[in-house]
Amino acid sequence: MTLLAIALGGFLGAVLRFGISQKIQGMNGILIINCAGSFLMGLSLHIAIQTNWLAIFWMVGFLGAFTTFSTFAVQFVESWSKGEHRKAIGYALFTVLGGFLSVLLGWWSGAVL
């Protein structure tokens, strides 16, 4: 049951990420996806999920597949290799800081609910 929950959540998260990245292409799309997923992960820390498989489906499967560190890393390297060093560094800083701030914002939001 656990592997099925991860697989189903992962499938849905990956499909949604792909759809959003097609509408908002490039670094901005991945930045938005990663920050939104980080916010939802932080929010999920405070929402009581009654069943273990639902937590695994949502946090490990869906949000794990929705957010993507590998695409972030590839886009950083592509920009850097084109000589766009400021753009690459800015993207890395916005992604990392935005991810942390999004988790905190989600966590605080969940504490208020």
Q: Which of 53, 61, 5 is nearest to 37 (CA)?
A: 61
Residue whose C-alpha is closest to residue 102's, from 56, 44, 25, 16: 44
Which amino acid does the sequence have at 108? Answer: W
Helical ranges in the chain per DSSP H: 2-23, 27-44, 52-55, 63-66, 69-81, 85-112
Annotated binding site for Na(+): 64, 67
> In the chain, what's the furthest Cα-to-Cα distance?
50
Question: From the annotation, which residues make up the binding site?
Answer: 64, 67
